[in-house]
Structure 1
């Protein structure tokens, strides 16, 4: 980054800002060491002993997703693609979160699995289990690296810290509080981080809107510079039409709204792990449903700053000024001291939430799904608790390395979506068929998952990057890759199923929809039967509210 650009983005932080940042670090570490007292078994370390209330797991669920990659990446999307970015929330998150809570959590929680791959072990067998475990482990450390790189962008641009210093210092703090308190520490810190993040983003949005003349002034400026469709959700998305996103309504609805969205929210263990730590099935089902309501309104403080940055800095995305710099740029230009400290702390909290979610899911999957069953089985519980802590250190170190992979992408959200199309979509195909089709065989689970993963990679690296097919943008290519992975995964799974033998009916009892032990009809526990806690009411309310949010920005 040229020195002139670096100086323009550098915050003039003072003692008050550093004091706020230091106070936050002390509180985070304090929560970690306080949670340490509750860690007695591996279940306590990996799943908080399945003891947390729904409101805690619900806020942690949305905070785990609201990492630095979400803030920097979705703001970058807002600056690059405009209001089309709201699709990642209202159609690309809410329906899938509702589906997870109402339909899939009874299978996950009722089977008492410790991880998402462990469900595949019960449903299909060791081959699918090991393959999915490896996929989860790789994707977790890759995404953890994205969070590290996102933090480095902020620290280097705003505080002048070097890339290495930013990564190592932040990684050390995440490592410290996860090692101390396990998942409980991560979750309770995520609840704190959720409110710190909002305290940082709300002032940035308000001051930014005031700078550009409110929503009316922002819309007028963007319409003039980018065209009317830039400030609409569906304008210009007809098949054959062109738009900044490089996608039409069909690829948005199918690629993002169904395949990619459901693939991420229903199989991503970094999110599902929060629900699995809830105290009972009712609380587990309500976890993603509670999270859906704040998720609906997150675009107001994430996407809008990206739009503001597109007006404040017209050269964003050109030369050395990347779309990833949208939020740091606004912070450097708009926020006074004191508020700067809160903003920097908020971004740091976002990074820590995102990385902690992925590191805690990595240590759980690697320990319980790879090390314990295939490398060192039948050891004492204390041994696996120790392994979990060692794997946590390894995950953080690997994440430091993968941070530099993310640095090659000018829009880190595009990179994340690429990873989701590779790993999460094929997993979703295997899960959804396995949960609703009794006939699906163990061999189909393995080959369908493998074929879907390979197909997505072939589409992206050979067909898209190799220039065989023309797709206007990386995000458009990700939507297509997701659809390809979905179709190939289904086709291979169906074909292999009819050529191989399924599991006996008694071995899939409680693992497939319609079997009497699946937990779908379980009576709510005492205190959970009240009308406002009913999953169906919460779920449909969130979907209706999300659909209503589209109306002012339809076209």
Structure 2
């Protein structure tokens, strides 16, 4: 297959260059505002809810969402929608309603810091190291995705493309920290929607509408639940129980409620209500993102017959090839800029989260405890540089997976699912002890690795099914070990758990706030819409 696939013109390159100059300019604009560690790592906790909500969503419109979900849509069909609906929305609402009061009110700077307060220093260390490892692995996905676009645009080698992509992200995040990242993510949110929205409409028009497209696809491609009665009834190889327990519960809640990449955006909000509303408001947009990425995957499965087959383009190229098919010069540049924006927002999200955890939970906690704010900001900038260097190496790991979606879910099943088990017991069971939390988390992560590396090939119907079930059993092992160890070890006193455990923490109420600003009411509206969507596309 020819390395240069897209017929780009000068105007396309001009649009892309203008975008790169603009995002770096934002970094320079906010650089002088970075006076304290909280300014650099948490934006001074001063951002309005609508901005943090857009940044929250944009940080999750990275390589996984755009290339990965389009690839998964082409490979598995409408079943991929589960990653958004049951795999994201309930967990996002749970984060906003139940978990933000613990995260925000305790003024923690990171998720590992909460584990230190609730359990012990050892639990914090395990989570900090495992999160740092997972983050540089996932940021490599975004680098690989950006490099893939440069490769098919101009025929550059993968290495050259990766290096150029890394430099741009390093400059604008290094200058302005989380604030630069958040404001760029808001810009990227609008760019992504403007640049990609035409694809599903043009594709469906060519194929004779929704029904015309489904007639040319396998029967299971057009349903969300109808073909999940048994594992072998669909291309994903997973039944409704695996989807519900593995994706909807263990993976979904594990990612959306405990991954610091997600939580960091909510901590930048100006008050607790804004922090609670951040994931709730984002969930309204999250429900319709499948139109942007999964529907193009379905269209590509029809229009590009050799997609994903030996000698043909990989599933990861589904969306770029549709752009080349439909977009004229100029518009193609806008579409490619939207894709590059999504990859940069995803990578920047990983880099800022990695930097905060490294600086506060590893460097300050164990290496240099009493340095100045200026020193920690400097260390944060060095951490960005080192994190991106490591990400360059991990980008080549992403290359070995046919679908970067499967690679990402593999990482989540190993790290996030066990962590959610630890958090769930930590917040809702005050009898969970420090060493119960520690050993539950350690053995949960190790069990996920063991299942991945030592279970015989063919144990699961597909990589996706393996990720769902591995996440579920890792969560179960974490919970069981935590309960058993807690039964034989000493819990913390109630006085030590105030603000950290449900039942010992005052719940927020907003009786005099208008209904459209109240997290609970907005969450109910989202749930009703979610049920209706699942019925419509059953």
Q: Is the 8 Å Cα contact of residues 229 and 239 (structure 2) preserved in structure 1?
A: yes
In structure 1, the residue matched to 2:477 is 488
- 1:61-72 alignment runs, 5 A limit: 61-72=56-67
Q: CA deviation at 1:16?
A: 1.4
Q: Identify which of 448, 461, 468 aligns with 1:472.
A: 461
Q: CA deviation at 1:130?
A: 0.4
- 1:33-52 alignment runs, 5 A limit: 33-52=28-47
Q: Is the aligned partner of 1:131 residue 2:123?
A: no
Q: CA deviation at 1:31?
A: 1.1
Structure 1: gaps of 5 or more residues: none
Q: Is the aligned partner of 1:168 residue 2:163?
A: yes
Question: What TM-score, normalized by structure 2, do the two folds share?
Answer: 0.98
In structure 2, the residue matched to 1:533 is 517
- 1:395-474 alignment runs, 5 A limit: 395-463=387-455, 466-467=456-457, 470-474=459-463
Q: Is the 8 Å Cα contact of residues 6 and 321 (structure 2) preserved in structure 1?
A: no
Tell which deviates more after alignment, 302-311 or 22-31.
Answer: 22-31
Across the two proteins, how many residue pairs are aligned to each other? 537
Q: Is the aligned partner of 1:340 residue 2:332?
A: yes
Residues 194-227 of structure 1: per-residue CA shift (max 9 Å, x gap): 01011111112222222222212211111xxx2x
CA distance in 2, matches of 1:210, 1:99: 38
Q: Is the aligned partner of 1:542 residue 2:526?
A: yes
Q: CA deviation at 1:317?
A: 1.2
In structure 1, the residue matched to 2:253 is 262
Tell which deviates more after alignment, 105-114 or 26-35.
Answer: 26-35
CA distance in 2, matches of 1:448, 1:393: 33
CA distance in 2, matches of 1:63, 1:502: 40
Q: Is the 8 Å Cα contact of residues 52 and 277 (structure 1) preserved in structure 2?
A: yes
Q: Identify which of 16, 19, 29 aligns with 2:14.
A: 19
In structure 1, the residue matched to 2:356 is 364
In structure 2, the residue matched to 1:308 is 299
Q: CA deviation at 1:193?
A: 0.1
Q: Is the aligned partner of 1:29 residue 2:24?
A: yes
- 1:30-429 alignment runs, 5 A limit: 30-222=25-217, 226=218, 228-239=219-230, 241-320=232-311, 321-429=313-421
- What is the aligned-residue RMSD (CA, Å)? 1.2
Q: CA deviation at 1:383?
A: 1.1
Partner-residue secondary structure (3-state), 2:233: coil
CA distance in 1, matches of 2:460, 2:528: 33
Q: CA deviation at 1:51?
A: 0.4
CA distance in 2, matches of 1:274, 1:549: 27
CA distance in 2, matches of 1:480, 1:68: 24
Q: CA deviation at 1:348?
A: 0.5
CA distance in 2, matches of 1:377, 1:107: 25
CA distance in 2, matches of 1:331, 1:532: 38
Q: Is the 8 Å Cα contact of residues 50 and 276 (structure 1) preserved in structure 2?
A: yes
Residues 380-410 of structure 1: per-residue CA shift (max 9 Å, x gap): 1211111111111101111111000111100
In structure 2, the residue matched to 1:506 is 495
Partner-residue secondary structure (3-state), 1:13: coil
CA distance in 1, matches of 2:154, 2:186: 26
Runs (4 or more) in structure 1 with deviation over 4 Å come to: none
Q: CA deviation at 1:19?
A: 1.5
Question: What TM-score, normalized by structure 1, do the two folds share?
Answer: 0.95
Q: CA deviation at 1:141?
A: 0.4
CA distance in 1, matches of 2:316, 2:201: 20
Q: Is the 8 Å Cα contact of residues 28 and 175 (structure 2) preserved in structure 1?
A: yes
Q: CA deviation at 1:86?
A: 0.7
CA distance in 1, matches of 2:462, 2:440: 28
Residues 404-447 of structure 1: per-residue CA shift (max 9 Å, x gap): 01111000000000000000011101011000111110001110
Q: Is the 8 Å Cα contact of residues 33 and 181 (structure 1) preserved in structure 2?
A: yes
Q: CA deviation at 1:38?
A: 1.3
Q: Is the 8 Å Cα contact of residues 107 and 519 (structure 1) preserved in structure 2?
A: no
Q: CA deviation at 1:523?
A: 5.2
Q: Is the 8 Å Cα contact of residues 459 and 484 (structure 1) preserved in structure 2?
A: no
CA distance in 2, matches of 1:221, 1:423: 38
CA distance in 1, matches of 2:270, 2:434: 31
CA distance in 2, matches of 1:88, 1:69: 11
Q: CA deviation at 1:161?
A: 2.3
Q: Is the 8 Å Cα contact of residues 158 and 332 (structure 1) preserved in structure 2?
A: no
